[in-house]
Amino acid sequence: MPRKLLLPYKSAFPPFGAPRASHDSLAMNAARSGYRVFSANSTAACTELARRITERLGVELGKSVVYQETNGETRVEIKESVRGQDIFIIQTIPRDVNTAVMELLIMAYALKTSCARNIIGVIPYFPYSKQSKMRKRGSIVCKLLASMLAKAGLTHIITMDLHQKEIQGFFSFPVDNLRASPFLLQYIQEEIPDYRNAVIVAKSPDAAKRAQSYAERLRLGLAVIHGEAQCTEQDMDDGRHSPPMVKNATVHPGLELPLMMAKEKPPITVVGDVGGRIAIIVDDIIDDVESFVAAAEILKERGAYKIFVMATHGLLSADAPRLIEESSIDEVVVTNTVPHEVQKLQCPKIKTVDISLILSEAIRRIHNGESMAYLFRNITVDD
């Protein structure tokens, strides 16, 4: 019986390490060096910022579906390949904060399991940033959220005007904390007539550093409202009184701790001259507007003839539009880090400054491996 000749096996694929065809190589390199921009929001109103950013970048918004099922669960479906690419997730935070957080976490994890190379979260307003300090028997929720984002697969975050700059230390990956102040300063110079006759106002001593930064850049005077009745963050319990004092507790003999005197706020005073001037109140967040309305009333009594409020994040919760409309405030200027189109319809005093330019430039620089220093030029530690 004749022997069968065993021919060597010839693979349809080139040997390991051998160069592929030129068009395959180009396609592979393009995929690996490419990037995609996705929106993690399930509501149309929240995708406006993502649309502006992609228009500036000259790219299309990534194909994905984000929706809520009838039982309330969030579902995310990625409709295109993201293997080996840099993915930027733009997530603006609407009133339903917890749903937005879950959308972001689920999308990040879906991209991670789809083999994306880097997952960068673009979160202009970082939620839970006010809960960044220990309260009595509470928790630092902002730190918890940072850990959840890292676990979901995020490798970088772009945000804007964190409520406390120390929040960056909660993360195990890089955080770029951009500033909106250049856009707000430009608005003051271009849209407020006779702004040279203005004075920058801090509605509490806590906001004095931010107000001082604005005043120095505009070469204007500074005023600080002191002694307001509202409860500031420094006055809240921070855990030092836990466990609570017990009336009949036994004390070690000879141990006499000095008694901490209770705080007593002085009468409301305005440190600085605002008479016959335009008052511009600056802050990072405008949420519950009662303190801003009260500050405006005080400034009116002290002789200010026009009052502006400038803030990066316009949350404008509850009855904020109605209270602003009925107050002495002439105009509230916020950026579009948070969607507030409904509030603008309710109150024509609310104006918007677009910050998509700096976010799109940050995305471009991070993807190309360029320095971010240009976006932080002339920014100091106190800004």
- CA-based nearest residue to 343, from 318, 307, 313: 318
Element of type H or E holding 79: none
- CA-based nearest residue to 117, from 150, 83, 156: 83
Residues facing 36 on adjacent strands: 87
Question: Sorting pLDDT into bands at 50, 70 and 90, what band is 31?
Answer: very low
pLDDT at 248: 54
pLDDT at 325: 96
pLDDT over 60 at 21, yes or no? no
Residues found in the chain: 383
Pick 240 or 353 by higher pLDDT: 353
pLDDT over 50 at 11, yes or no? no
* Domain range annotation of the chain: 35-178, 181-228+266-353
pLDDT at 380: 79
pLDDT at 265: 74
User: What is the per-residue pLDDT across 89-125, written as a single tens digit (0 to 9) for each?
Assistant: 999 998 899 999 999 999 999 999 999 999 999 999 9
Mean pLDDT taken over the chain = 86
Looking at 203-217, 233-247, 345-359, which range is the least confident one?
Answer: 233-247
- CA-based nearest residue to 125, from 104, 144, 151, 153: 104
pLDDT (mean) for 9-38: 52
pLDDT at 44: 79
User: What is the per-residue pLDDT across 363-381, written as a single tens digit (0 to 9) for each?
Assistant: 999 999 999 999 998 887 7
User: Is there a contact between 265 and 229 (Cβ–Cβ < 8 Å)?
Assistant: yes
Question: Sorting pLDDT into bands at 50, 70 and 90, what band is 232?
Answer: low
pLDDT at 2: 52
Contacts of 250 (CB under 8 A, 6+ apart): none
Residues facing 156 on adjacent strands: 120
- CA-based nearest residue to 94, from 339, 268, 309: 339
Q: Which amino acid is at 258?
A: P
pLDDT (mean) for 52-68: 94
pTM: 0.83
Pick 145 or 26 by higher pLDDT: 145
pLDDT at 245: 54
Residue whose entry in the numeric block shows the structure tokens 């395959």: 24
Pick 29 or 40 by higher pLDDT: 40
pLDDT over 70 at 167, yes or no? yes
pLDDT (mean) for 333-362: 95
Q: What CA–CA distance (Å, rounded) separates 320 from 324? A: 6
Tell me what percent of the residues of the chain surpass a pLDDT of 70: 84
Fold of the CATH domain 181-228+266-353: Rossmann fold (3.40.50)
Tell me what percent of the residues of the chain surpass a pLDDT of 90: 70
CA atoms within 13 A on the CB side of 41: 23
Residues facing 77 on adjacent strands: 65
pLDDT at 7: 44
CATH class entry, domain 35-178: alpha beta
Sign of the torsion angle spanned by Cα atoms 163, 168, 173, 177:
positive
